[in-house]
Amino acid sequence: MSEQDRRHSILRDVLRRNQVQSQGELLGLLAAEGLSVTQATLSRDLRSIGAVKGPDGYQAPASSSLDKAGRKRLGMLLKEHVDTILPAGNLLVIKTSRNHAAILAQELDTLALAGVLGTIAGQDTIFLATSGAGPSKRVQAELARISGRSELRPA
């Protein structure tokens, strides 16, 4: 498990066990778990895992049947409508069937896969931004796994 994956796992766990109102409070809870991070890293990690701040404080993304249904929808879209996934530094360029890029990008944004910062979609192309070249390869491998299409895996 990479250091980032480890941080994300601890962060999700802390958010699920505690009602957290501020990033300062969260930094203290993470320190109690033996995890020392900067506020900037914490902000990036919160975005990466899809945590949101509402009236009750920060909330971890649910890992419920909704996630399973979303992964199933994403898998079908990837299997049926993706032509290629090409890495370009910290980006993945995803070529889709015409008029399917926006639908696929919306599913990707909803699932908030670890390492994905965001997407931009046209008619048949998605630019998926990750936090670096390493996360880009991991996300590409994850998309290939979800789709069941080995030809989409990183080279």
Mean pLDDT per 10-residue section of the chain, whose length is 155 residues: 78 86 94 93 88 83 58 88 95 95 87 85 96 90 92 88
Helices (H) and strands (E) in the chain, counts: 6, 6
Domain 3-59: give its CATH code.
Answer: 1.10.10.10
Tell me how far apart the alpha carbons of residues 110 and 151 are, in angstroms, rounded to a whole number. 25
Q: What is the domain partition of the chain in residue ranges?
A: 3-59, 65-152
**How high is the pLDDT of residue 56?**
82
Distance in angstroms (rounded) separating the CA atoms of residues 45 and 23:
11
d(CA 130, CA 136): 6
State pTM to two decimals. Answer: 0.59
pLDDT of residue 66: 41
pLDDT at 1: 52
pLDDT of residue 67: 61
Do residues 106 and 139 touch, judged by C-beta distance below 8 A? Answer: no
At residue 16, the pLDDT reads: 81
The two three-digit tokens of residue 27, written as one number: 């930094």
- Residue count of the chain, please give it: 155
Fold assignment, 65-152: Gyrase A; domain 2 (3.30.1360)
